[in-house]
Chain A
Amino acid sequence: GDSVTQMEGPVTLSEEAFLTINCTYTATGYPSLFWYVQYPGEGLQLLLKATKADDKGSNKGFEATYRKETTSFHLEKGSVQVSDSAVYFCAKRAGGTSYGKLTFGQGTILTVHP
């Protein structure tokens, strides 16, 4: 099927730890890939995106590389902060007749302790 799978959470880290949240997808063709973040009490915000293979999206110290060969788009940050505590969603958007639709992963809750 057409899906996005994220690593199961929740993830709990200490401040300045390294973060990886895994994301893999199934799709025909070459979708665009996104990471969205939902901070407590706020709406979904785009964190970063990549639209073709080997592209790297980056923002606020977070990075993700579009890996076609492994159909993955893992999110990484070298040193997390307490303010990064949020829910992170991986998403894809295919072309063709599915132009409009974002397909989301189930979300990963990240908690960063001081």
Chain B
Amino acid sequence: GAGVSQSPSNKVTEKGKDVELRCDPISGHTALYWYRQSLGQGLEFLIYFQGNSAPDKSGLPSDRFSAERTGGSVSTLTIQRTQQEDSAVYLCASSLMGLDKGDTQYFGPGTRLTVL
């Protein structure tokens, strides 16, 4: 079956612009996660959705970052007033239930964001 998909695959933007990154999880997966991967910081957790609610937003680095999930499916990560330090690969993952600590997270290919 289809895996996690993300769009766009690459995004180049100018400092100060807003960007939206999209994630389509595996069908039937109730849990969805956003991470980012950068050279300096490695892989960092951003936010976790269970259904449409986000019980853990602890990784969002500032109030410029927000995310929503609708219909228990697609999620959008929005970065307002982008800064150069926001440049990274943004990864989305989904898992079947999310409530079991052994639940496997399946990752998408990522969106590479470059802020000029």
Contact = CB atoms under 8 A, between A and B. Distances in A.
A44 interface: yes
A51 B45 contact: no
B45 A103 contact: yes
A93 interface: yes
B106 A100 contact: no
B59 A49 contact: no
Given A43-B110, A107-B43, A102 B104 contact: no
B45 A101 contact: yes
Interface in B40-80: 42-43, 45, 48, 50, 55-56, 58-59
A28 interface: no
B31 A100 contact: yes
B45 A99 contact: no
A70 interface: no
Interface in A40-78: 42-46, 49, 51
Contacts of B59: 101
Nearest to A29: B101
A48 to B, nearest CB: 10
Interface of B: 31, 33, 35, 42-43, 45, 48, 50, 55-56, 58-59, 91, 93, 98-110
Closest 9 CB pairs of A and B: A100-B48, A51-B102, A104-B43, A44-B107, A43-B109, A32-B101, A95-B101, A32-B102, A101-B45
